[in-house]
Amino acid sequence: MCIIKITSEYIEQKGGIEAYLDAQQHIGSLRFLTCGSVDDGKSTLIGRLLHDSSQICDDQLLTLRNDSKKYFGHSSNKLNLALLVDGLQDEREQGITIDVAYRYFSTQKRRFIIADAPGHEQYTRNMVTGASTSDLAILLIDARKGVREQTKRHSFICILLGIRYFIIVVNKMDLVDFSDNIFKKIQEDYLIFISKFVVDVKNYFIPLSALNGDNIIMRSRNMSWYDGKTLLDILENVDVMDLKDKLEVSHVLRFPVQYIIKHADLDFRGYAGTVASGKIQVGQLVKIFPSGIISKIDRIVTFNGDCQEAYVGESITLVLADDIDISRGDLIVDVNEELNIVYSAQVDIVWMSETELLVGQIFTIKVAGKKNRARVENIQYRINVSTFDRCITDSLSLNSIGLVDLVFDEPLMLDKYLDNRITGSFILIDTLSNNTVGAGMVRELSTKNCGKKNDVHADFELALNSLICRYYPHWGVRNLLKGK
């Protein structure tokens, strides 16, 4: 435990503000998610973490005291720590979390980015959003209620989205007299449930009371029978890369172009984005997808100036040696990489619309900034999140999860989701309303060229396509004559 209140005296001891900030740049970071059923205490837990680790400024604490009196009564001095996270008016009035709330805090060992996910089933889409960028999940279970359906649903979604580290927090132990038997029973029930998954996951179990702070920062005197670590101890020391390295995580270069930077006066043209996987270095030969043009990295520009190489997760701007026409959504890979160019894929879909997903529907999909059109070829099954049985169906309803075969209008460069979260996932967009209606994670790539029959075109189609590509390149239409 390394909780130190950052004061001017402390910064002076560390050699001044510049030395302190420089040291802060070199500590690691961890993104984690809090999830579980509604009213299990997720927001209160985060509020307690922020409060007990001295991360709340005096003015925020004063506001929290005033807000707490509105909900507890003006005579009460109790703090409603959930208000630190639940910022929406509806969230405060109903005492629930609706949208994903992100919070940041740090200790001497690590920086943390927390995603507080809603517990209601109807807000599953928001939970998926928070889980998609997290490396670890804190799964809360109410000690009075044990493992519930939403506990299973959130566990399944986290595993589906590639999370392999879980801290199972049995909360509200103060309401069950800090009973070790109840804690052990919940632990046993959850282990039986999680054993149904064939994937390798790491679980930590902690009994605590978020309301009172037991076993969060300090060990609880009320649960002397618990000899494990506190919650903060685990968060500071868990090595999420340990298990990742054992998985087939891709280390090949993937750089989706997010933005084109041009300065006419300075004759500068760069391609901005985040390294999705692997590393990139000056002088490296690269290939641009879909054009297939080869070039060389001339410069890597960052906020702090040029650098020689960049790694996964870093936001950079690339300058190529050649003046090439590159658009938003194009992908830069190493010249020696074998590209996974596919016309179809098996995809795990989390359906987020009240209108059912049906076979034959066509959607716009967005993969790492690039848009394409996809057709639902087949729905193989829907997962029952309570029993994990595969249910044969021809539709997916709101919040359902199922395995779906998709066929794309144009060839796409995809990876399996477990290899690469960025190029292995996408969102589905309704072509009429432009609403996001689903999230997809690629499970298997299909080598079957489902679009081959469409490569036979009439002369009129080829002439029209050529005309559009020549005079309306901003439409992004695939050139049917390319390579012929």
The answer to whether residues 336 and 401 touch, using CB atoms and an 8 Å cutoff, is: no
The answer to whether residues 86 and 94 touch, using CB atoms and an 8 Å cutoff, is: no
User: Helix, strand, or coil here: 370?
Assistant: strand
The answer to whether residues 170 and 183 touch, using CB atoms and an 8 Å cutoff, is: yes
Pairwise CA distance, residues 223 & 179, whole Å? 8
DSSP E strand boundaries for 303-435: 305-307, 309-311, 315-320, 331-334, 341-351, 357-358, 362-367, 370-383, 390-391, 395-396, 401-413, 425-429
Pairwise CA distance, residues 319 & 326, whole Å? 11
pLDDT digits (tens), the chain, 484 positions:
555 566 677 777 777 777 777 777 777 889 999 888 878 888 888 888 888 877 777 777 777 777 777 766 656 667 777 776 665 555 555 555 556 678 888 888 888 888 887 767 667 777 887 888 888 999 999 999 999 888 888 898 888 888 889 999 999 999 999 999 999 999 999 999 888 877 788 899 999 998 888 999 889 999 999 999 999 999 999 887 655 554 445 578 899 999 888 875 667 889 999 998 888 999 999 999 888 889 999 999 988 888 999 988 889 999 999 888 888 888 999 998 877 788 899 999 989 888 999 999 999 998 888 888 999 999 999 988 777 788 999 999 988 889 999 999 888 888 888 888 888 888 899 988 888 898 899 999 886 654 444 455 677 777 887 888 777 766 656 666 654 4
The token duo for 246 is 């054992």
Beta bridge partners of 262: 269
Neighbours of 241 (CB within 10 A): 11
User: Helix, strand, or coil here: 343?
Assistant: strand
Q: What is the pLDDT of residue 452?
A: 46
Q: What is the pLDDT of residue 73?
A: 62
Beta bridge partners of 307: 300
User: Helix, strand, or coil here: 146?
Assistant: coil
- In the chain, what is the straight-line distance between the N-terminal and C-terminal CA atoms, in Å? 65
Report how far Cα 324 is from the mean position of its chain's Cα atoms.
32
Q: What is the pLDDT of residue 98?
A: 55
Q: What is the pLDDT of residue 409?
A: 86
Pairwise CA distance, residues 443 & 425, whole Å? 9
Pairwise CA distance, residues 50 & 70, whole Å? 21
Pairwise CA distance, residues 349 & 438, whole Å? 7
Q: What is the pLDDT of residue 246?
A: 47
Q: What is the pLDDT of residue 74?
A: 58
